[in-house]
Amino acid sequence: MPKYIFNKETLSYEEVRSSRHFRITKGAVLFAGSIIMAVFWIWLYSDVFGFTLPKTAALEKTNARLVSKLELLSRQVEKDGEYLASMQLRDNDIYRSVFGMNEIPSEIRNAGFGGVDRYSYLDGIDRTGLLKRTEMGLDILSKKACIQSSSYDEVESVAEKADNMAACIPSVPPINPDRSTYRLSSSFGYRSDPFTGKSKRHTGMDFATPVGNRIYSTADGVVEKIKVDRFGYGNYVIVDHGFGYKTRYAHMSEIAVEAGTPVKRGQFIGYSGNSGRSSGPHVHYEVMYKGNYVNPIRYMDLDMTSEEYSLLVERAGS
């Protein structure tokens, strides 16, 4: 609103005009004063009275909500990680084992999780470390799940051949179980060595039987090796049955198959003998599973009748 003063000389009211410099100075002072008053008011509101500014309160509320969701996600990632670990354990110990597949080593399951710190960009914005831990957990979970999925695909592919697998497990004796034709002269495990008298691990079963008793493959497979070992197994055959299983037939007098020949359970492969390091005519029979010797008695039924065995041999021959 304009300001007027009375001019005694002209006997009239005249408008008072302030200089431009004065107006600028006055505006600056008023602006600075308002800033100071605003700062003072904020200080009183927040520091003295302990109130939170509306915008700050809204941001804190939003942040608290996001942190809550992040914590929930982090706990879910940990829970899913524990569940995936149990799946990995079952995969190695049950699914892959039952189909004769090798376990997936932990260094493969955990591949790519060490080394370069790929999450360092979060250090400046994540003072609690929660965001970094959650993102790292998600990455690890994703990679492990991918490996587990591939393993299940592999197991599924092998499972489709389960019918073949049943035929490839060595589940019958290597000779006809006619009790009048053999005796079990040595079992699997530690025994007194017949040559040295010292305790030594026996890696198979010995069927004491006359030279010339017929020997049969105990499961479907392929003849992997035929060898003559004069100071050990003598004439022997190794059959690879797949799914982690192999069998050995040793101290034979004659071998009737060749390396690379497919064989069926009950198929004739040679004759018992006394070749190699042997104290008498017998068949030394071994079962190997994934490279380890296992007790053959777990895989055979010695109570099956001679007639049942003969029928099996007849079917293999046909």
Domains in the chain: boundaries: 3-48, 54-160, 167-317
Is residue 292 left, alpha or beta, with left meaning phi > 0 and alpha meaning psi from -120 to 50? beta
Q: Which residue has the tokens 């189909």?
A: 99
The pLDDT, as a whole number, for residue 232 is 93
* pTM for this predicted structure: 0.57
Residue-wise pLDDT tens digits, 65-115: 877 888 888 888 888 888 888 888 888 887 787 776 788 888 787 765 555
Apex CA 175: angle with CA 274 and CA 312, to 5°? 155
Q: Which residue has the tokens 């904020």?
A: 42
Residue (of 219, 170, 180) closest to 305 by Cα position = 180
Q: How far apart are CA 87 and CA 106, in angstroms?
A: 13
The pLDDT, as a whole number, for residue 68 is 84
Residue 297 is given by DSSP the state G
Residue-wise pLDDT tens digits, 183-241: 999 999 998 888 888 888 999 999 999 999 999 999 999 999 999 999 999 999 999 99
Type of residue at 117: D
- The superfamily in CATH containing domain 167-317 is Glucose Permease (Domain IIA) (2.70.70.10)
Q: How many other β-carbons are positioned within 10 Å of the β-carbon of residue 211?
A: 16
